[in-house]
Structure 1
């Protein structure tokens, strides 16, 4: 037996090893996609966390498809290619702005900030309010100390009308407004405060506003509470009712079925409408950055612009939406 023949068994072993590793990677992408595609994304906190990172499965699947073509592993490449195509159809439209909708009416600029147990830089929050000419501010994880720091930095002068439900740790949430408001009770009782108000706009139409913060699905038993609180968020008003804005930290991406179901009732996501739906708003430590803060609108409100801003001291980024309330 010559040297070339003797080398065949090691080559075959290497080929089988490459095939096995590649197939494992393909199965990993399939497992990544399964909770959304098969409808068990809310099964537990593990599947909820996995689904939060689904947007990253698209480039991972695309890279595997190219690798599979180079390795000539046709069947497994076909599988991962089809999966990637399905995920791309689900995810990528969020980065494509909708056709502009002409709208005349009252402007409404909405800012949402998670203060990370009240530790966020109060001066930066107030700076965003001032420079963004914000009309209504949704504050999550609002502590009494954070209220004091924000007002010391000038928030009360800019947004004097408010419904604040401050509390220890992550419990507190608040609404601060440049415009007069009247407190409502639109959200059901929840683990974390979710206050609501009717914003008195200069035009003919007022707007209902809910500061959203369902329980984060991170501890034992929290997944069920998270799903229930998302499901219990108020639906849009019927024809003739006031428009509504839900703004805050939803602890959910647009891939989670409870949030998709909420959007299916008639809300629009301002980030998705304006092409910013894949811009991450939260990320800390080893976990990938994900998009869990949202401004949802209903009742004909038009999202004209959307942006994301860093806030020192917080694990979230602030989100700013420029809306128009048609007359």
Structure 2
């Protein structure tokens, strides 16, 4: 009697515990960057904690990059490829959003400086007075400027900036635009915190001025944040084919938020910091004002195609948790 022996395939070697641990570590490291980059890709930022996490997007390249090493140690090619993909997408989105120049035509009819500052419930007012006296801007957009703040600014810099558009309020609800040029009042953009507006004759042209200060995207308030940024976008869209526009302030949003990009796109507006090569310079929180270092740019000076940007600087204001943005602009005559 002949016996037949059947060859049995050897069992695969057990996964080594260290490789399993490395694979888990890689997966955990790449998980949050994957979600955030995915939301950035499809333009979703209306659900907590997505808007908050999008503010950290450039910094998420670090865990995405670190995820690659344990994936390679675990010999998980799919996981390593995923980490590379997420890292590449993160680095791509870190690039500045929008064109790097305007299409301004004609001779320069006015050179001006525009300063946007959040004085945090008026606490940075005195520092702002010193900054205005030193930098001598022609337009100053001040968020969270209460009644005492308005009175202080009027008394201190009124001779140089005698015209103003105000939304009267206490705490964070008050705001003011100070101007060296005569102003014609315009309706503010409806919001919980003041967004005053006006027109000014600058260099023979009528320039639309609006201060932006939507609510921050904290939990249970994200819908209101997006709604108010939508109203800012509606204003920008209404001016799209009009004259020059300067829209500035604390937007509580960065280029990684779809709601902010919609403002730029709706009005064909340009971020002055982007045009000056400083699109990723953080403005919040100011150094020493919290447990985190400055990590996100939420204060902006946006301009229409009628302007060219000579430069942008970011200035510390004692008493405020924001850095101010000072933009040097050339207004052109147009076609």
TM-score by length of 1: 0.86
Query: For the Cα contact (< 8 Å) 2:119–2:142, is it kept in 1?
Result: yes
Query: For the Cα contact (< 8 Å) 2:45–2:259, is it kept in 1?
Result: no
After the TM superposition, which parts of structure 1 deviate over 6 Å for at least 4 consecutive aligned residues?
99-103
Quote the residue 2:280 is aligned against. 278
Q: How far has the Cα of 1:100 moved from its partner? A: 10
User: Take 1:95 and 1:306, find their aligned partners in 2: how far apart are those partners?
Assistant: 17
SS across alignment from 1:41: coil
Quote the residue 1:4 is aligned against. none
Compared with structure 1, are the counterparts of its residues 48 and 27 closer, same or farther at alpha carbon in structure 2 (3 Å cutoff)? same
User: Take 1:177 and 1:101, find their aligned partners in 2: how far apart are those partners?
Assistant: 23
* Cα RMSD, aligned residues only: 2.6
Q: Is the aligned partner of 1:52 residue 2:51?
A: no
Quote the residue 1:177 is aligned against. 179
Deviations 1:136-187 (A, max 9, x none): 00000011122233345x22122111112231111001100112111112x4
Give the alignment partner of residue 296 of structure 1, picking from 290, 302, 306.
302
Q: How far has the Cα of 1:94 moved from its partner? A: 5.7
Compared with structure 1, are the counterparts of its residues 110 and 157 closer, same or farther at alpha carbon in structure 2 (3 Å cutoff)? same
**1:18-167 superposed matches below 5 A:** 18-44=22-48, 46-65=49-68, 68-69=71-72, 73-93=76-96, 104-120=108-124, 122-152=125-155, 154-167=156-169
Query: For the Cα contact (< 8 Å) 2:19–2:75, is it kept in 1?
Result: no
Quote the residue 1:214 is aligned against. 214
Query: For the Cα contact (< 8 Å) 2:104–2:306, is it kept in 1?
Result: no
Quote the residue 1:230 is aligned against. 229
- Who wins on radius of gyration, i.e. which is larger? 2
Compared with structure 1, are the counterparts of its residues 229 and 205 closer, same or farther at alpha carbon in structure 2 (3 Å cutoff)? same
Compared with structure 1, are the counterparts of its residues 274 and 290 closer, same or farther at alpha carbon in structure 2 (3 Å cutoff)? same
Number of equivalent positions:
312
Q: How far has the Cα of 1:26 moved from its partner? A: 1.5
Quote the residue 2:199 is aligned against. 198
Compared with structure 1, are the counterparts of its residues 238 and 19 closer, same or farther at alpha carbon in structure 2 (3 Å cutoff)? closer
User: Take 1:83 and 1:104, find their aligned partners in 2: how far apart are those partners?
Assistant: 44
Query: For the Cα contact (< 8 Å) 1:306–1:322, is it kept in 2?
Result: yes
SS across alignment from 2:111: strand
SS across alignment from 1:126: helix
* Runs of 5+ unmatched residues, structure 2: 1-12
User: Take 1:99 and 1:175, find their aligned partners in 2: how far apart are those partners?
Assistant: 25
Compared with structure 1, are the counterparts of its residues 61 and 198 closer, same or farther at alpha carbon in structure 2 (3 Å cutoff)? same
Which moves more between the two structures, 171-180 or 53-62?
53-62
* Runs of 5+ unmatched residues, structure 1: 1-7
Q: How far has the Cα of 1:87 moved from its partner? A: 2.1
SS across alignment from 2:95: helix
Compared with structure 1, are the counterparts of its residues 96 and 246 closer, same or farther at alpha carbon in structure 2 (3 Å cutoff)? closer
User: Take 2:72 and 2:52, find their aligned partners in 1: how far apart are those partners?
Assistant: 31
Q: How far has the Cα of 1:261 moved from its partner? A: 1.3
SS across alignment from 2:247: strand
Deviations 1:59-112 (A, max 9, x none): 432343466557654322221211221222222236996599786231121101
SS across alignment from 1:290: coil
Q: How far has the Cα of 1:232 moved from its partner? A: 1.1
Q: Is the aligned partner of 1:323 residue 2:326?
A: no
User: Take 1:70 and 1:304, find their aligned partners in 2: how far apart are those partners?
Assistant: 49
Query: For the Cα contact (< 8 Å) 1:42–1:257, is it kept in 2?
Result: no
User: Take 1:318 and 1:13, find their aligned partners in 2: how far apart are those partners?
Assistant: 52
